Each structure stands twice: as C-alpha cells, then as structure tokens.
Amino acid sequence: MSASQQPGLKPDGMIKAINRFDPVRARSFEEAERHYLEIHHAFARAMHRASDAVLQYVPNRALAQYDVNGGFDQDPEAWRYVFHLRREDLPDAQSFIPEGDRQAIWADHTNCLRNIRALEVAPEVLADKCTGQMVFVKYVFEYHFTADVPAATAEAAYQEEHLPRLRALLGEAFGFRKCITNKALRQAVTAPLAEEGQILTGDYIDPESVYRIEEYWFDNAAWGADFFGDPRVRDLLRAPERGRMEGYLVEEKCGVDKF
C-alpha cells in the first residue's frame, strides 16, 4: 500500500466524516443487508465517483463485538459504518450528496438503513508501521460520554491517561500496522422518513454521546486477538473514567478512493 493510499489520511481542504447506521425494521436483516450491498452501495459508489465533493468513501461492516474476555466472540450491536473524506468548504451536512441525487438516496434508505449517526471528526495518527502491505484486518472502537462521565471529563481522561498508555502498548504489539484516533467535532441532524434517522437535514449539533472513535489495522486477526486480549489492553479500553466503550472487528471495503 503506497503512502498516498494509506487509510486515514486527511489532506488539506478535506474533512473526515464517520457515519454509523442500523438496518431497517421493515425488512429482515438479510433483506436489508442484500439491498445495501447489491443496490444502495452500488448507487452511492457511482454517485461519489462522479462528484468532486467526496475523495474517499469506505464502508465497514461490523462482524463481531469486543467482549468481556477481551475477545471478539459477541454478536455485534453495530451493523455498518461509512468513512468519508469530503471537501470541508461544503455549506451543510447534506451537501456532499449532489442535489439531484438526494431524494433518490433518501428514498432508498427506507429499503435498508435507519438511525444514521453522522459525525465530522478530527483524525490523529497515533502510530504507523505500514510498509507496503495490501491487506489488513481492521477494528473500530467507540468511546461514549455518559451521565456519570460527562464529555469534558471523558475527553480529558482520554488525552491525559488513555493516549500515552495506548501508544506504549502499540509500540510492543506484534503485527500492528496503524492506529488513528478520531475526535468527534459535530454531529449531523437527521429526520425520519419511513423510520427514524433516514434523512440528513443539513444542520449540525454537538455530538450526542460519542467523543472518540479509534481505528486499528493489524496484519491478521490472530495478531489483533493477541493485542486486544492482553489484560493491560483490555483494562485500558474498559477504564470507567473514560465513559462507555464499544469495540468491533469490521470488514472494510473500499468504495471510492481518488488519491
């Protein structure tokens, strides 16, 4: 993988966005998954290829969730994420979608997805050991502030305690390649169509609960399991002073990459 293609780069003039959404209730999970893969993703991929607003469009599917033992043997609560790099001079949260395509893509959401949580984030590369690999295994970890741990408290603990210890542990990790921490800046406001959260209104609010999203890449799932199963890592990721954590093994597929 060349330097220009490494995951997580954010060139000047672009902003990184991370969307998470759930399958619709009106269809079975299998029907929603098939529609998303075979129809919705194909439409979005072609749309972003033709538009100058989006530089990268990278869907991720959650395969398994981080469990209390430090493994990934739990069925995932999350379904899908989409990672975007798009122009930062766009006027609002829906402008990365061409105006002529918006009604079509909103309507197609009713066939597969709901409950969009769309965050604009500031990424920081914590460590990068990529040396030419073309295939990785990826993990995504979310950190949520809570009623007991407000956003400012959680973020301070994350910066002052979590990041230094994480960098040290990554320095020891065999088969580790890259880690990015994404600080949530603002969240797009959504509205219902057939179900909740199927339309982006164009407005923004402060993040409702997520304050950080981490991305990890390893050579393979065995080395990832070694790292996340380490009791020191497990205790670090689950520290209660940093709020609530969710972690996932994901399948990443590139839709559009214009680097």
pLDDT at 9: 57
Above 90 in pLDDT, residue 75?
yes
What integer best gives the mean pLDDT of the chain?
95
Above 70 in pLDDT, residue 255?
yes
Tokens of 66: 């981080």
SS3 173: coil
Give the whole-angstrom CA distance, residue 33 versus residue 37.
6
Give the single-character DSSP code of 27.
S
pLDDT at 10: 73
Above 60 in pLDDT, residue 5?
no
User: Would you give the distance in Å from CA 232 to the centre of its chain?
Assistant: 24
Sorted by where each starts, the structural domains of the chain and their CATH numbers stand as 3-257 (3.30.70.100)
| pLDDT digits 0-9 by tens, 6-35 | 445 578 899 999 999 999 999 999 999 999
Give the whole-angstrom CA distance, residue 173 versus residue 24.
38
Q: Are 87 and 13 in contact (CB under 8 A)?
A: yes
